[in-house]
């Protein structure tokens, strides 16, 4: 019973992670193109997929509160062990691919932000300091280019 439930749960987790990975790959292409409308749509899809993943994880926590995959493997027959271990390996590989894809997307976003900030700083005029400054200077105050030396 636990073996079948764990297998089903791992398959759903794997499917959800693979869908997130596909969204991440699409997001990379959208970021390269700079299409903000498509990025917005992808972010909404990604949010829905993350919520789905959270529901699966919540279900896992309820069904297998104090049970690990190792515990299930000890009770499973050989065919189920092979299937569970294969699912575990696929899930780990998909998770690692998703992690590296997200890091790449993060770098692309940071580069885009740097480009936007640089473009804005080139276009915007230099602003005056936001603190008080004395606009009327004393014309007799300590001028370094005086014609006469007052100490002589």
The predicted structure's pLDDT at residue 133:
61
Which is more confidently placed, 94 or 143? 94
Q: Is 76 helix (H, G, I), strand (E, B) or coil?
A: coil
pTM: 0.74
Which is more confidently placed, 112 or 139? 112
**What CATH class does 2-122 carry?**
mainly alpha
Q: How many CB atoms lie within 10 A of CB 10?
A: 21
Q: What's the length of the chain?
A: 152
Task: Return phi, psi of residue 135, to 5°.
Answer: -80, -25
Yes or no: say if 91 and 16 are a contact pair by the CB < 8 Å rule.
Answer: no
Burial 19-30 (b: 16+ CB within 10 A, else e): bbbebbebbeeb
pLDDT tens-place string over residues 96-105 = 999 999 999 9
Yes or no: say if 73 and 84 are a contact pair by the CB < 8 Å rule.
Answer: yes
pLDDT tens-place string over residues 62-113 = 988 888 888 898 989 999 999 999 999 999 999 999 999 999 999 998 988 8
Place of tokens 């789905």: 52
Name the pLDDT band for 152 (thresholds 50, 70, 90): low
Rounded to whole angstroms, how far apart are CA atoms 68 and 75? 11
Whether 136 shows a pLDDT value over 70: the answer reads no
Q: Where are the domains of the chain?
A: 2-122
The predicted structure's pLDDT at residue 151:
62
The predicted structure's pLDDT at residue 93:
97
């Amino acid at each position: 019973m636990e073996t079948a439930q764990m297998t089903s749960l791992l398959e759903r987790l794997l499917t959800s992670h693979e869908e997130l990975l596909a969204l991440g790959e699409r997001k990379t292409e959208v970021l390269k193109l700079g299409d903000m409308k498509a990025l917005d749509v992808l972010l909404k899809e990604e949010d829905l997929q993350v919520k789905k993943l959270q529901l699966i994880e919540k279900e896992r926590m309820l069904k297998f509160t104090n049970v690990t995959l190792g515990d299930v493997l000890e009770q499973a027959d050989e065919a189920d062990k092979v299937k569970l271990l294969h699912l575990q390996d696929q899930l780990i590989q998909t998770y690692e691919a998703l992690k590296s894809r997200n890091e790449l997307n993060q770098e692309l976003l940071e580069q885009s932000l740097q480009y936007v900030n640089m473009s804005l700083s080139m276009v915007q005029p230099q602003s005056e300091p936001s603190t008080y400054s004395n606009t009327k200077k004393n014309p007799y105050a300590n001028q370094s280019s005086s014609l006469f030396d007052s100490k002589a």
